[in-house]
Amino acid sequence: MIQVEQVSLVTKEYTILDNISIQVDKGTIVGLAGGNGSGKTMLMKCICGFNNAFTGKITVADKEIGKDIDFPKNTGIIIETPGFIPYYSGYKNLKVLGDLRGNISNEDIFQYMEMVELEPKLKRPVRKYSLGMRQRLGLAQALMEQPELLILDEPFNGLDKSMTEKMRKIILEEKEKGTTILLSSHNPTDMELLCDKIYYLDGGKLVA
């Protein structure tokens, strides 16, 4: 599903990614592990087409990023803190995104919000959401489009133990449906419980 071949990203001051090669097979969960500044988030941004200043080659579903396509198709994405219209409610944000796609019903939105334990009828604007609520809304948005690929950067940030366990279960259920998942987390337990394969990055280099 994802093939990253000798990808580097260098600025005037820093080497952010240094000759990275990874493979994510269809229907598997692959983890990216490493501390802050290791390159995990930037690698995900390159895979998503959000940064095309890299050298090397990235293909997603046999389409080369920056050549065949600008962004991977049929992909649900959470990178850093999910961004939403701050003065809209959670439901209204998802409704706007759903209307853009044109194939997501109100029932779908309700289903996925309830799945992540958010109340669809809550009028509270997203600007008043906690970090954990934003993360859950981001996961609902990523899942409601029923993508073939999920790219999840630290999706458990701000979640308590109970909600983290529920989110892990949802991710494993997505894998059972055949969804391919690329996941990053600071928590080794997340990696051990969820991933079929783990790549470890340090200082922009693949170390294990």
Q: Which two tokens stand for residue 37?
A: 């500044």
Using the structure block, give the residue that is written with the tokens 């934003």: 134
> Whole-model pTM?
0.92
**Average pLDDT of every residue of the chain:** 92
Domain ranges of the chain: 1-74+147-208, 84-146
Asked whether residue 8 carries a pLDDT value surpassing 90, the answer given is yes
Contacts 24+ apart (CB under 8 A), 103-110: 104/144, 104/145, 108/144, 109/140, 109/144
Distance CA 148, CA 178 (A): 8
Q: Return the CATH superfamily for domain 1-74+147-208.
A: P-loop containing nucleotide triphosphate hydrolases (3.40.50.300)
Per-residue pLDDT of 11-69, as tens digits, reads 888 899 999 999 999 999 999 999 888 999 999 999 999 999 999 999 999 999 999 99
Per-residue pLDDT of 66-106, as tens digits, reads 999 999 989 999 887 677 999 999 999 999 988 887 778 89
Distance CA 30, CA 183 (A): 6
Q: What DSSP string runs through 83-115?
A: P--TTSBHHHHHHHHHHHHS---HHHHHHHHHH
Q: In what order do the strands lie in the sheet with 29-33?
A: 75-78, 149-153, 180-184, 29-33, 197-202, 205-206
Using the structure block, give the residue that is written with the tokens 């598997």: 28
Distance CA 143, CA 123 (A): 22
Percent of the chain with pLDDT over 90: 78
Query: What is residue 128's DSSP assignment?
Result: G
Instruction: Kindly indicate the confidence band of residue 137, based on its pLDDT and cuts at 50, 70 and 90.
Output: very high
Q: What is the mean pLDDT of residues 166-185?
A: 95
Instruction: Kindly indicate the confidence band of residue 180, based on its pLDDT and cuts at 50, 70 and 90.
Output: very high
CB 152 within 8 A of CB 184: yes
Query: Dihedral through CA 73, CA 79, CA 83, CA 89, nearest 10?
Result: 80
The pLDDT of residue 139 is: 92
